[in-house]
Amino acid sequence: CVKSVKAISGQPVILEGKRIGRVLQAELSEDLTVLTGLWADCGLKGTRYVHNEQIQLLGDVAVIVTDKGKRRRLSEDTLFRRAVASDGRRLGAILDALIDEQTRKVEALLLSEGFLSDLMRGRRPVRQYTVQPGTGNVVLKSRTDEEGGAET
């Protein structure tokens, strides 16, 4: 089963049956292939980073952890990235990711091609991509992921 990174945000974080905070942001690896951890707002105890190995369950209504995590400042890195074709053409923006709840690997990034396209067709899952070092732009390898047609 897959979970959207945006759907995880805001969920309560549970440790030993008690709510210790809520998910602020998920953190993905630099190459956007795996969930590395979560940032949790724990009220007076501050913002805490819970590493992937400390996450027991990414549930439908809560995230269950085995440790309260380390108190750290929230990362400035967000999932929002520019999506470009291999020839450099701008294609849209990466706004979300789908995470396998068992393996914590990124199954797909969700590409927004603009407001009207999102309303009419929804966001397009992208499974073949690389991340440009330095810029952080997501380079799509092909446009055939969900269309089943020829590469464009």
* Lowest model confidence (mean pLDDT) among 3-7, 42-46, 143-147: 143-147
The DSSP symbol for 143 reads S
Spatial distance between the Cα atoms of 99 and 34, rounded to a whole number of angstroms: 8
The sign one gets for the Cα dihedral 87, 91, 93, 94 is: negative
pTM: 0.83
How does pLDDT run across 86-141, given as a tens digit for each residue?
888 999 999 999 999 999 999 999 999 999 988 999 899 999 999 998 888 999 98
The answer to whether residue 146 scores a pLDDT higher than 50 is no
> What b/e string do you get for 94-117 counting C-beta neighbours within 10 Å, with b at 16 or more?
bbbbbbeeeebebebbbbbeeeee
Instruction: Give the pLDDT score at 145.
Output: 39
Residue 84 structure tokens:
């470009």
Instruction: Give the pLDDT score at 144.
Output: 45
